[in-house]
Amino acid sequence: MDDKVFAKPIKKQFEFDEEVAAVFDDMLQRSVPFYKESQKITKYFALKHLPKDGVLYDLGCSTASLLLDIHRDLQHSAKLIGLDNSEAMLEQAKKKVDAFGAKVDVEFADILTYNYEKADVIISNYTLQFTRPLVREKLVGKIADTLSQEGVFLFSEKIISHHPKLHKKLIECYYTFKKEQGYSEYEIMQKREALENVLVPYSEEENIKMALENGFSHCEVLFRWANFATFIAMR
């Protein structure tokens, strides 16, 4: 289903409701540059660090596309768990999980208060940026505490530059990308306004610093396109 959410006037902040959930897969493909490539590299490192009978969490799993992709390539038994606080997203996720007959659990949960079991891999794709900065570092610390000693945290985020001129050009580059995907100026403007104060991105350096100060020994970028990046943080 094509994403036309912002083709009409929006009178509320962005939320992951039924309308967004219905077109979310299309929205990701057309709104996140090189989305498939970033997911592919995330899957690669997730599988490399997920042992037999290991545990993997996807925080903000949305429609469970990545979990199903990991499940398809998994060569041994492991527990795959998706968490999301959007009932609409989970409804779409459960339909897909059932359709594929996959051994994937998806649960309605607040990732800030959820009682995690020890895990080997935790994934968070474009989820931290929707978490208030005041609690974001606590969440990253909780993720570090949840991971085993050899565990990894793989996360993708929209990022900013603190260089004003570069930041402006990065935004222009991204909007050019969106236009190439068929979004109009009006849709781009509408979504930007709906996301204001809802999506709060950090810079690449701030994301790495946050990981290093909250339980991880190493963090670096695996993939980057302009103002989108995929990170790996290691215990």
pLDDT at 6: 47
- Kindly give the parts of the chain with pLDDT less than 70: 1-25, 27, 194-195
pLDDT at 3: 45
pLDDT at 145: 98
Helix axes 133-146, 204-212, angle to 10 degrees: 50
Assigned token pair, 184: 């109009």
pTM over 0.85: yes
Query: What fold characterizes domain 11-234?
Result: Rossmann fold (3.40.50)
Mean pLDDT of the chain: 89
Assigned token pair, 64: 């469970």
CA 27 – CA 2 distance, rounded (Å): 8
Pairing of strands 228-234, 218-225: antiparallel
CA 95 – CA 175 distance, rounded (Å): 33
Name the H helices within the chain.
18-31, 35-49, 65-73, 87-100, 133-146, 164-180, 185-195, 204-212
CA 58 – CA 41 distance, rounded (Å): 15
8 Å CB contact between 85 and 122 = no
